[in-house]
Amino acid sequence: MHILFIVDPLATFKIHKDSTFAMMREAQKRGHTLSACEPKDLMWQRGAPVTAYVRDLTLTGQADPWFTSPQQPPHERPQPLKDFDAVIMRKDPPFDAEYFYATHLLEQAEREGARIFNKPRALRDHPEKLAILEFPDFIGPTLVTRDAEDIKRFHAEHQDIILKPLDGMGGTGIFRVKADGLNLGAITETLNQDGTQTVMVQKFLPAISEGDKRVLVIGGQPVPYSLARIPQGGEVRGNLAVGGKGVAQPLSARDRFIAESLGPILFARGLLLVGLDVIGDSLTEINVTSPTCFQEIFDQTGFDVAAMFIDALEAALKAALKAAPASAA
């Protein structure tokens, strides 16, 4: 099959740890054809299908260059998205206005017959911080508000809290305020922009010392290992992007229960790949845009997450093709 990956610039890939690269490598290993573009390369015009200006890729198996392509910018090749067997949306957050617009172009491509993973509507319907609100039984004390007084009351009740912006990624913009309330006002003003932006506030979970666990769910089924991202050097954040140490470990009974409870629901909505973040026993985020940690889990455990993903992609495409005649009828 021919797979289009919609990604950040290829020059920015760190292939030793990039999960999209792991997907590409496994797909090419199976004989599938690869192409790539960026969201800015999507285009629609009345009377024509949604088209991407793509580069056709062959992975070299080397670190540099890690791919070859007959197309060099700005001479990418135009191809309608409906002509690919699968389109994989892997643009990293933030989920800003341009990402939002891209999902609408992708949804138009779906109406034209394209098969897109994760489903564009599902990407819009599951903002990564707010998607947990649907599953209150799995989360710790959480507040979503613009109001500084609400945040003060939440702090007075829980004493030790975490504040974070709704559009952050990689641990950016996360603050901890302890019982003394030091700098709570200044932090609130910074995050809520004097009441114009919404903030998420959560009770601090001491289990972060054992790691912020990334639990991957593929095709509705959990990967049997999580990657616990453990804060280092006095940091409160375990994100790998800010120096957290990644330790792969088998899922706990609670991890598996959360994943098996949410996985089928999210998969039925068109989310082939989901990254659940779990601290201790509490779900803290549901990541749907470009969940990572494939290579870290494989390197430490030998479990091939990319192979599980391509298995699920192939199965989803087979199911879609089988259902197509009935849908057309």
**Active-site option among 214, 239, 255, 296:** 214
The whole-number pLDDT of residue 93 equals 87
Q: Catalytic residue at 237?
A: yes
Residue 133 region by backbone torsions, left for phi larger than 0, else alpha for psi between -120 and 50, else beta: alpha
The whole-number pLDDT of residue 186 equals 96
Q: Catalytic residue at 229?
A: yes
The whole-number pLDDT of residue 222 equals 98
The whole-number pLDDT of residue 233 equals 74
Q: Catalytic residue at 164?
A: yes
Q: Is the pTM of this model over 0.85?
A: yes
Q: Catalytic residue at 183?
A: no
The phi and psi torsions of 124 (rounded to 5 degrees) equal -70, -35
CATH number for the domain running over 207-319: 3.30.470.20
H-type alpha helices, 202-248? none
**Active-site option among 38, 56, 285, 296:** 285
What is the spatial distance between Cα 279 and Cα 293, in angstroms, rounded to a whole number?
16
* Three-state SS at 291: coil
For residue 244, what is the enclosing H or E element? none
Q: Which residues of the chain have pLDDT under 70?
A: 325-329
Same fold, 2-120 and 207-319: no
Is the CB of residue 103 less than 8 Å from the CB of residue 123?
yes
Q: Catalytic residue at 285?
A: yes
Architecture, CATH, for domain 141-204? 2-Layer Sandwich (3.30)
CA distance from start to end of the chain: 25
CATH number for the domain running over 2-120: 3.40.50.20
Q: Domains of the chain: which residue ranges? A: 2-120, 141-204, 207-319
Q: Catalytic residue at 214?
A: yes
For residue 123, what is the enclosing H or E element? helix 120-125
**Active-site option among 76, 229, 239, 296:** 229
**Active-site option among 56, 76, 277, 296:** 277
The whole-number pLDDT of residue 83 equals 98
The whole-number pLDDT of residue 79 equals 98
- For the chain, the C-alpha Rg in angstroms (whole number) is 21
Structure tokens at 240: 């790998």
Is the CB of residue 273 less than 8 Å from the CB of residue 129?
no
The whole-number pLDDT of residue 231 equals 87
**Active-site option among 164, 212, 255, 296:** 164
The phi and psi torsions of 42 (rounded to 5 degrees) equal -85, 145
The whole-number pLDDT of residue 326 equals 54
**Active-site option among 18, 118, 287, 296:** 287
CA 17 to chain centre: 15
